Amino acid sequence: MRIGIIGLPSTGKTTLFNLLCQAGGSHVGHQSAKEPNVAVVRVPDPRLDYLAALFKPKKLTPATVEFIDFVALTRGVGKGEGLGSHYLSQMRQADALLHVLRDFDDPGVAHTEATIDPVRDASLVNTEFLLADLDTVEKRIGRVELDLKKGKKDEAVRELDLLRRCHAWLTEENPIRDLPASADEEKLLRGFTLLTARPLLLLLNVGEEKLGSANPAVERLTARIGKDVAVSQLCLKVEWEVSQLSPEDAEAFRADLGLKAGGFAEVLQACFDLLGLITFYTGEGGEETRAWTIPRGATALKAAGAIHSDLERGFIRAEVVNFADLEANGSMAAVRKKGLHRVEGKEYLVRDGDIVLVRFNV
C-alpha cells in the first residue's frame, strides 16, 4: 500500500511524515534531491504481538505501508507550474492520497493564502488536480481518436466514450472518484491514473486549543465529501512532542490532554478503511508469524495468492481460526476443542483477524 502525503506549504505534512517514521519504526528510503522522501512504516498491531507471544516464532513480520512525502503544492501546479508539477505523475501511482490541511494559528509561520481556512485549501488543491486530470484526459482523447483513424475500433470506441464522459464530468468540477461507472468502466478508469480518482484522506492539523472540542472545519468538509473520501484530525505538534517522551511520560501526558494512544495509528487505520483493507495472519507453529493485508471481500484463494503464487495455484483448502476466538480461549488447542477451527474452500471470504493455514499441492 502506497500513500502519498500532499499539502500546501507549512501545513505540517513533513511533521506527519517524520512522526510516522519515528513511531512506526520505519526504514527511510534514500532519495535524490529530485525525488520525494519515502518511508516504509511498520503497522502497529497488538494482535500480531499477541500471536508472537503465543506462537513464539523465530521471525515476526508486520504489515507495512509506504508513505511518500511530496513537495508542497502551490497554485498553478495543475497547469504544470511550480516544483510540485514534477511529482504529479508519481502522485498518480499512489493507492491513496493523504492531504494535510492547516487548521492551526501560528503568527511565526505565514500561510501562502494569508488566512487559515482548511476548507478553502482542500478546494484549491482539488481544483489543481481537476485541471491536471483534464489535461491528461484531453491528451488521451487525442491519442484514441488517432487510433480510431488507423482502424483500431473495438476497445478504442469504448475508451473514447468513457474519456468524453470523464472530460464532461471534470469540466463540471467533479472528481472522477464520484463518476458513476460500471465495474468494467472502473477497471478502465484505473488505467488512466487520474489524480481525482485516488481515494483521499483529508487530515486537519489542528491547534492544541481545538483538541476535545467540535471542529466546524471537520463538519464543513464532511458535509462536502463524496465517495472514497474521509476526514480526520490530529494535533501534529502535540503528537510530535509526545513522541519524544518516554512511554510512561507519554501515557501521562496523553491522559492529561484526554488523547487516545498513538494518534498516528488512527491515521493508518483511516488509510486501511479508506482502501477497504483487512489484515489476516499466518504462522501457527512455523518459522515466521506474519500479518498480511488484502482487500475486504477477498477469497481464501486470493489470500493464498497474497502469500505466494504457488499456494494459489495448488490451493486445496484453508484452515481458519479468527483472532477473537483465539484470544477468548487462550490457545489453538482450546479453540479446536470448542469446534471453532474451520476448514474452508477457495470461495471463503476472509475476515479481518483470521489466522489462516493454506493446504496446497506442490
pLDDT at 24: 59
pLDDT at 41: 87
pLDDT at 84: 78
Alpha carbons 328 and 252: distance in angstroms, whole number? 29
Distance, CA of 161 to chain centre? 30
Alpha carbons 240 and 237: distance in angstroms, whole number? 5
CA dihedral (50, 54, 59, 63) in degrees, to 10, reads -30
Domains (range + CATH), the chain: 2-110+197-274 (3.40.50.300), 125-196 (1.10.150.300), 297-360 (3.10.20.30)
C-alpha radius of gyration, the chain, whole number: 23
pLDDT at 209: 82
Q: Are 66 and 40 in contact (CB under 8 A)?
A: yes
For 258-311, write each residue's pLDDT tens digit. Answer: 676 666 777 888 888 899 999 999 998 779 999 999 999 999 999 999 999 999
Tell the burial category of 17 from Cβ atoms under 10 Å away from its Cβ (0-12, 13-18, 19+): buried
Q: What is the average pLDDT value for the chain, to the nearest integer?
A: 89
Q: Give how far Cα 209 sits from Cα of 205, 212, 237, 257, Å.
A: 12, 8, 12, 10
Q: Give how far Cα 210 sits from Cα of 9, 150, 242, 305, 361, Å.
A: 21, 60, 17, 45, 57
pLDDT at 61: 95
Residue closest to 99 by CA, chosen among 258, 217, 243, 241:
217
pTM of the model: 0.89
For 272-283, write each residue's pLDDT tens digit. Answer: 889 999 999 999
- The ranges of the chain with pLDDT < 50 are 27, 30
H helix runs in the chain, sequence order: 13-23, 46-55, 88-91, 118-149, 154-171, 183-190, 216-224, 236-243, 247-257, 263-275, 300-307, 309-313, 323-329, 332-337
pLDDT at 263: 65
Alpha carbons 325 and 340: distance in angstroms, whole number? 7
pLDDT at 36: 86
Alpha carbons 11 and 15: distance in angstroms, whole number? 9
